[in-house]
């Protein structure tokens, strides 16, 4: 989610055809983050935890399907392959930075 929010979504937000999609996608990310916070307060074996987990799984599956079937193909058309590749490289760099900060903070 972090990589999408910091790199991919801002690139898409520059194009009006993605404005509604970006609002929905960001809202979906926020919902998942809230669910994770709720789950962090619960015992994994509790029914409430399991209910939230099932809701989150359903929401994530829907989100991923929308991205793979609609957003990603359309973004290639609008942004072009070259910009998509550049964004992919930026995302990979951000992931590496995140992994490095995890290992140095331990």
The model's pLDDT over 9-59, given as tens digits with 9 standing for 90+, comes to: 999 999 998 888 888 999 999 999 999 999 999 999 999 999 999 999 999
Q: Tell me what the pLDDT averaged over the chain comes to.
A: 91
pLDDT at 38: 97
pLDDT value for 95: 87
Q: How confident is the model at residue 99 (pLDDT cuts 50, 70, 90)?
A: confident
Question: Do 1 and 33 form a contact (C-beta atoms < 8 A)?
Answer: yes
The residues, any chain, with a CB within 8 Å of residue 55's CB and separated by 6 or more, are: 35
Indicate whether 104 pLDDT > 70: no
User: Which token pair is 17?
Assistant: 């055809």
Place of tokens 């989150």: 56
pLDDT band at 106; cut points 50, 70, 90: low
What gap in Å lies between CA 96 and CA 102, rounded to an integer?
10
pTM for this prediction: 0.79
For the segment 51-68, the average pLDDT, to the nearest whole number, is 95
Burial 58-92 (b: 16+ CB within 10 A, else e): eeeeebeeebeeebeeebeeebeeeebeebeeebe
What percent of the chain stands above pLDDT 90?
77
């Amino acid at each position: 989610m972090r990589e999408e929010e910091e790199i991919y979504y801002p690139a898409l937000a520059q194009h009006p055809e993605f404005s509604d999609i970006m609002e929905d996608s960001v809202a979906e990310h926020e919902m998942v983050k809230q669910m994770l916070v709720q789950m962090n307060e619960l015992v994994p074996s509790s029914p409430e935890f399991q209910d939230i987990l099932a809701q989150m799984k359903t929401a994530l599956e829907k989100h991923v399907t929308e991205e793979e079937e609609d957003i990603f193909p359309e973004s290639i058309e609008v942004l072009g392959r070259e910009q998509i590749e550049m964004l992919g490289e930026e995302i990979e760099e951000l992931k590496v930075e995140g992994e490095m900060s995890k290992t140095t903070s331990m």
